[in-house]
Amino acid sequence: MNEEAKEKNSRKLSYLLLLLVVVFYTLWQMFASGGHTVTAEVDDTQIGLAVDRYESVFIPLEEVREVRLIESLGEWISLDGSSDRNFSYGRCSIEEYGEAMLSVYTQKPPFLLIRTENDTYIYNHSNQKETTEDYNAITEALSGIA
């Protein structure tokens, strides 16, 4: 094999490796973001929210001023946290709700809005059923303290 043929084969191998890296990265971006876990626990005194490895938040029920399901986040910008095309986590500023703590699958409404006097939390699960179940559990717990 002459030098020209070796160089040609080397270039083909480089292109193939680059293509494999691009395909792997694209697939990782598509599927890795689905691995987030949003956990919500409601008892007769508080709401506990946890997302993946991040610090949990505990909201005393007596501090809750509003709970509702919303279908859209509207216009928002991230203040800190992380975001990809499927999941966003962190502090953000939302045009309609002000500053909020966000833990959402952005393409999977509804979103559960919880407001206290000083904070706003918006989260959801990867499926509508779990989000609605949390909403029902929270409203039921709140009716017990009214």
- For 62-95, the pLDDT digits (tens) are 999 999 999 999 888 888 888 777 888 889 999 9
Query: At a CB cut-off of 8 Å and minimum separation 6, what does 30 contact?
Result: none
How far out from the chain centre does Cα 33 lie? 9
- Say how far apart CA 111 and CA 117 lie, in whole Å: 19
- What's the pLDDT at 116? 95
In the chain the first and final C-alpha atoms are separated, in Å, by: 85
- The CATH classification number of 36-143 equals 2.30.29
- Round to whole Å and give the CA distance between 100 and 132: 20
Q: Is the pLDDT of residue 105 over 60?
A: yes
Identify the band that residue 56 occupies on the pLDDT scale cut at 50, 70 and 90.
confident
Burial 57-76 (b: 16+ CB within 10 A, else e): bebebeebeebebbeebeeb
Helix ranges (DSSP H) in the chain: 3-32, 128-143
Name the helix (H) or strand (E) containing 114. Answer: strand 111-116
Query: Taking 50 as the threshold, does the pLDDT of residue 117 lie above it?
Result: yes
Q: What pLDDT is stored for residue 55 in this prediction?
A: 77
Share of the chain above pLDDT 70, in %: 82
CB atoms within 10 A of CB 49: 21
Mean pLDDT of the chain: 83
In this prediction, residue 2 has a pLDDT band, given cuts at 50, 70 and 90, of confident
**Residue 20: predicted pLDDT:** 58
